[in-house]
Amino acid sequence: MELEALKQSLFSLDINLDEIKDKRHANAFRILFSIIETQNEEIEFLKAENQKLRDEINLLKGEQTKPKIRGSKKNEDISSEKERRNREHP
């Protein structure tokens, strides 16, 4: 789970730590939430590092790496070939 999704999930629990009467329990929740966020950040880092290492192994074996898919660029000129020719040769 990505960090932002995790934060949303924790927020959706609707736990107000200031309303918990027992300060030990409130403190325990703060610590647990902090641990969860820290571990999730580490998991995301390790996933990325693991993929890099897999790619490197594949390169060393002479195989292809995972393709890097980039966002599409919008082409503002979507007119047909016929319309372009008409504009060029009036």
* Beta carbons of 60 and 19 less than 8 angstroms apart: no
| Confidence band, pLDDT 50/70/90 cuts, at residue 89 | low
Identify the residue with better confidence: 6 or 60: 60
Identify the residue with better confidence: 6 or 20: 20
Alpha-carbon torsion 39, 40, 46, 50, what sign?
Answer: positive
| pLDDT tens by residue, 19-74 | 888 889 889 988 998 999 899 999 999 999 999 999 999 889 888 777 777 777 66
* Beta carbons of 6 and 37 less than 8 angstroms apart: yes
pLDDT at 45: 95
pLDDT at 6: 77
